[in-house]
Structures are given as structure tokens and as C-alpha cells.
Amino acid sequence: MLPARPFAGRPELVGEAPRRRPDPRWWWAPVGRVPGIRPAQAQRAATFGLVSVGDLLLHVPFRYERYGAATPVAQAVMGQEVTVRVELHSIRMAPTRRRGLVTVRALVGDATGRLEAVWFNQRHLLRALSPGDQLMIRGTIGAGAPRSITVRAYELVGAGGSEGLHTTGLVPVYTATEALPSVRIRELVDRARALAATAPELLPAWIRDRLGLMSYPDALMSVHFPRAAGDVRRGRRRLVIQEYIELQLGLLLLRRQEAHERPAPRLGGTGETAQRVRGALRFALTVHQERTLREIGRDLRREVPMRRLLQGDVGSGKTLVAALAMCQALETGAQAALLVPTETLAEQHLQTLDALLAPAGITPVLLTGKVATAERDRRLMAIRTGTAGIVVGTQALLSEGVAFHDLGLVIVDEQHRFGVEQRHALSERALDATGRAAHILYMTATPIPRTLALTAYGELAVSTIRGRPAGRGPVATRWVRETERDDAYAEVRAELRQGFQAYVICPLVDEGGSAEAKAATAEAERLRSGPFAEFAVGLVHGALKSDAKRAAMAAFARGDTDVLVATTVIEVGIDVPNASIIVIEGADRFGLAQLHQLRGRVGRGARPGQCIVFGEPATDDGMRRLEAFTQTGDGFRLAELDLEIRGEGSMLGLRQAGPTDLRFARLTRDRRELAQARQIARRLLRGDPDMTRPEHLLLRRAVEARFAAIPRLLEA
């Protein structure tokens, strides 16, 4: 990204002084000022977002067509795709037997022979081309007398553009629209090619030399007009690294700002409280759990607010690690809060923490929306005075009236269930009366693409608990087509007859409108009277009242019901070791994070689990998601696959996934460049913390343009 600058004055026209470097102001000049670009073309480009010369030159190709050099007509072989340089002898329109389809046929040739060039449905060529025109034509050679060439691309030689622009060598293909197709963008970029020299050079010589990077203007020329594939790789690498350096500098400066303006309390502790908890466990912590605790413990002892992601598969011991981290906070007199997405999960965590922390004499407090007013007031007072050391709650923790005495640690469980704005609200809520920021630990079994991207880009540190806990069976996943439904139901009945239980997951609660997905209520009735008539079938979904939901889940946990038909309300917070098989309807309607969480409901005992998914994806992305889901049970790997399919999302905004706001870099393919950029950014700020050296000023402006909060920080 380059710093925005309004265009003022009349820059020196490139064509007026070809031997001098173009005026730098050309970079910000409107596209319509470029010689050879007509006003109508400039208007279509501006509508597409290509307003300035810089916009145009930064609109880089997303792929390339590889064409050969021009071939003499006599050497063109039938069935071969070739480029020929020929003269137009005659041109006419010819009707076809197919209604509405016409062909334009032209007799062309060179000194070695003749061809009949054929275009389909391009009547405008009768006005655009005339006998005597010199053409470059790319197409496939056919039979006949004279032989034909079905035209794929053509260009007029000497029409003001570069010869072979559309027909020879590596031909760039751009993201385009019907009003502004790729061929027109190629011509516009060609008109402005000399102006690439006006591109502001943001990276100082020491960075370019250290990483072996070409100049910015050379990089733009290499990606737009490559002579070989190596040119594209080198040019793109320069653009990617520059973009990553801007991003890394911004993130490092923001973290520095947070540490400077909102330092966190040092939560040292003696370890005695945690030791009492560990002493009561019937097992030893794993190597991964111990390592993760050390990483979190080091963060808590620093004044820099912790922003760490704890990744671990379902049941890997994340809650235990979180409980021991809470003990460290409590030993220094600070409070800890655990934020969860659902009341069911909050209640489960309360029970788990009660049992874990009882040996240390710690009693957590629950705060959810269903707590009665009088009891809520009592608990709010305990939180405000510090009597409640540990608080477990839902979004009720973010509501007005909730004030902590000294909140030192916030843990967010199943963080993918909370939006960006909610997490930001939590961060603001974490400030205590003195303005100190709480340490924040995010926990998840499957990071969503945006979280994974932010992790790799440097905003979050990562701790990972690998492997499944002892005593848990593996889970086999199978994508089943509709024709195999009866066989799948037979497998479920076989599990039920052995005394195990099953889940059936539906995307919707009720049938309605044109909904194609199966509804939980209708599906429960169908299964009760059909495939599972001999078994007890229960139903739970989000529209039920809390008491009804708890009753349905409790009945399933006791074994009173054999099959539980549910929506994603059981995605988290349900632990029934006897459940060995799960059927997910309309699986293509779920994200990979949700699917992985749902799969985690089975295989929680010694019995190996089975996950059967039904789905008829209407898109390629839907197909890829289900294929990826069946290929791996590793949550972090699934998140990487989800990232490849869905995109990084907005790095600095609110989108969870989808198109990235990075122009050149892609996390899935540019990780080496990311590591290099991070190293460079850290080195730069060590030597020039405020980026005031002359060689860093342009780069500083680019970072300021990308991160609105940076100028205030640098000025401070």
C-alpha cells in the first residue's frame, strides 16, 4: 500500500521528454491523463476502482497465458495453437445455420502462405479492421483450403501499443469485469508502462540489499510485462515482502502502543495455589500441557498484555491449563474471567472449575442472562469488590453494570463463536480503574481463518496442545451420498443395539419458506416413526427454553434417550462418552470449524467414534470443505485448509473470512516472505523506533495510511 496523495498541477507528460524520468506526480495522476487513454476508457477504469496511474499499475495479473513467438504461416501445423504475423487482405461477415450466430471471416497471409481467420459473433470487426492492416493473430489451425485459424486473440500492429502484447510470450490475465475486460486492462497498463518509473520506492537500500529485492518500479514491470516466469516470481516477491513489512511494522507499533498506554499487571505468583490443584489430579500433565503453561506463565509475568491463542483439540486439556493460569492471577490478588458463548457451556465450565479448584479453596462465580435479579445483584457486588476471584459467564460479562475490582486475566473459550466487535468490547472491558489492560488468552479447537491469519501475521502468539487425551478413541469421518442413506442408518442402528448412543445434527429448527436443509423438529418426527422407531429419540435446539434444553440434554447424558436430534446448540458444552456416532445433515452448510466441533461430540470414551456427513454442495468451495473435513481430524490443519478455501478475511477490519485486504500477499503461499518481513520490521524498529530517518519516511507514511492509529503513536 502506498500513501495517498492528491494529484495537483500538471506533471510532465511522458511523451514530451522521453529521455527524462517522468514527473513523480504522475503516480497520483488520473488515468485519463495518460497519453493514448480515451476518456471513455478512463471512466470505465475509474468505475472499476482504477482511478489513478498508481491504482492501474498496482492492479497486477492473477495468472498468465504462455504463448510462443510468431510462426510463419507455412510452418503452422493443423490442430496447433500458434501466433502468426499477417496482413489482412479481405474481411466479410458470414451467416451460420445456428440462429443468431454469425462469423467474421478474413483472408490473411504472410510471405509463406495464407489463412482464413475466423471470429465468432464479433460484427464490430468489420468496422475496426481494413484490408492492408498488419495483424498479430493467436488461434488454432484448422483444415480446409485455404487453411483456417480460429482466433483466440488478435491485435493491430502499430496501433499505438506494444507488438505481441496479447499474442506472444507470457500474456497477463487480470481480474476484470464485462465492461472492462482483461484485454482492455492489458492495453491500459501498456499505455502507462513508462510511468512505472514514478512508483515511490518505499524500501530503503539496506532492506533491498539484505533480501535481494529488485526496485519497486522494476518489480511492477516484471509482473506486468515478464519475459520469463522468473521475472514474475522475483517481481511478485518484492511486492509481497513490501506489503508484509508494512503490515508487520503496523502490528508491532500497535502492540508497542498498547504496552505503553495500557500496561498489564505483572501476575507473578508463587505457584503454591496451582501446586495444590495439581496435587489433587489423578494424572500427570502431558509434555505439551507443561510447555503451554510455561509459555502462558512467562506472558503473565510481563507488563506487555498477553494476547495468546491456546489451540488444542476437543478434550485435550485446555480448561485445565486455563485453570492453572487463573491460579497464577489469583495469587497476585487479581481476578480472572472466563467468557464462553453459551449458557450450557458456562455451566459445564463452572462444574469443571469447581472440581479442579476445590483443593485450593477457590469457588468460581457464574454470571449468565438467566441468573435471577436478586442473585445477579449479589454476584455483581462480589465481582465489583473482588470477593469473586474467578467469574465464568456468557456475553452477560460484557453488559453494562459489570465492573471488576482488579481484572488481570481474561480467557475466551471457543473464541471463533465471538465476532470481532465482541472481542474488541471484551478487550475494552478488561481495563481496570487505573487503565491497566488485562492479559487475554483465547482458546479454541479450530481457529477460524481470520484468527489463524492474525496469528501468523503477528498479532497473536500461539500455544498448541498436541494429541488426544489418553483413553479416547479415534473418530472416523465419512462423506455419504444420498443413495447410501439406508446403509448409513443401518450403521447407526448397529451402534444403538450395542448400547451406544447417536447424534443427528440438522442446520435448521423448523421447515419454512424455501429452506432446503432438514429441520430438526421435522427430522425428529421422521426418525421416531421411521428408521429409529425402535429407539428413544430426543430433540434439542436453540429455540427451546433453557429448562427444556437442559432436560433434553440431561436425558441423553443419562441414557434415557438413544438418539438426540439437535441443531448446533450441542456444538460445545456436551460431554457424553457413551455417544459413539454422529450424523450431520446438510454438512455443506456448516463451516469447517463448526463441523470439527460437532465431530468432537463423539469419540469421548474408549469406543472409536464415527462421523457420517450428508451433503450435496452446490459450489466448488462446498465440495472442498467436505473433502477437507474427511481428510484430517487435526484442528489446526483444518483451519489452514479453511484459510485456503475461504480466504484470510480482513486483517484490520471486521470480516471473519472472504476477500483479504492485502493486495499481493497470501498467507497460504507466502509464509517464507512473511517470516523475512517480520524479521526486517523488528530490526528496523530496533534501530529507528519512530521511523524518523530519511530512508524510512516514505515507508512510515505507507504504514500510517494502512493503520489509522499509527500517526498518534509515532508523534507521541
What local confidence, expressed as pLDDT, does residue 654 receive? Answer: 43
CA dist 215 and 81 (Å) reads 36
What local confidence, expressed as pLDDT, does residue 649 receive? Answer: 64
Q: Tell me the average pLDDT across 492-505.
A: 96
Q: Which overall architecture, per CATH, does domain 482-615 show?
A: 3-Layer(aba) Sandwich (3.40)
pLDDT digits (tens, 9 = 90+) for 647-703: 776 655 544 555 456 889 888 788 899 999 999 999 999 999 999 999 999 999 999
| Residue entry with cell 447424558 | 557
pLDDT at 514 over 60: no
Provide the pLDDT confidence category of residue 145 given band limits of 50, 70 and 90: confident
**496: its cell numbers:** 444403538
Number of Cβ within 10 Å of residue 598's Cβ equals 24
Domains 272-301+317-444 and 482-615 share a fold: yes
Coil/strand/helix, residue 91: strand
Q: What percent of the chain has pLDDT over 90?
A: 50
Sketch the domain layout of the chain as residue ranges.
1-62+186-198, 69-167, 272-301+317-444, 482-615
Provide the pLDDT confidence category of residue 509 given band limits of 50, 70 and 90: low
CATH superfamily of 272-301+317-444: P-loop containing nucleotide triphosphate hydrolases (3.40.50.300)
- Which of 669, 677, 667, 674 shows the shortest CA–CA distance to 208? 677
pLDDT at 366 over 60: yes
- Which of 397, 394, 345 shows the shortest CA–CA distance to 568? 345
What local confidence, expressed as pLDDT, does residue 397 receive? Answer: 84
- In terms of pLDDT, which residue wins out, 714 or 382? 382
Decide which of 3.90.220.20, 1.10.10.10, 3.40.50.1220, 2.40.50.140 is the CATH code for 69-167.
2.40.50.140
What local confidence, expressed as pLDDT, does residue 148 receive? Answer: 93
Number of Cβ within 10 Å of residue 456's Cβ equals 19
Provide the pLDDT confidence category of residue 564 given band limits of 50, 70 and 90: very high
Provide the pLDDT confidence category of residue 571 given band limits of 50, 70 and 90: low
CA dist 74 and 147 (Å) reads 10
Provide the pLDDT confidence category of residue 434 given band limits of 50, 70 and 90: low
Is the full-model pTM beyond 0.85?
no
What local confidence, expressed as pLDDT, does residue 17 receive? Answer: 38
pLDDT at 435 over 90: no
DSSP class per residue in 494-544: HHHHTT-EEEEE-SBSS--TT--SPBHHHHHHHHHHTTTTTS-EEEE-TTS
CA dist 405 and 403 (Å) reads 7
CA dist 29 and 7 (Å) reads 5
CA dist 33 and 49 (Å) reads 16
pLDDT at 554 over 70: yes
- In terms of pLDDT, which residue wins out, 260 or 20? 260
pLDDT digits (tens, 9 = 90+) for 440-465: 999 887 777 767 777 777 778 889 88
Q: What percent of the chain has pLDDT over 70?
A: 88
**415: its cell numbers:** 473464541
CA dist 265 and 435 (Å) reads 10
DSSP assignment letter at 108: E
pLDDT digits (tens, 9 = 90+) for 167-202: 888 999 999 998 999 999 999 999 999 999 999 999
CA dist 403 and 385 (Å) reads 9
Provide the phi-psi class of 368: left if phi over 0, else alpha when psi is between -120 and 50, else beta.
beta
- Which of 643, 246, 239, 307 shows the shortest CA–CA distance to 462? 307
What is the average pLDDT score of the chain? 85
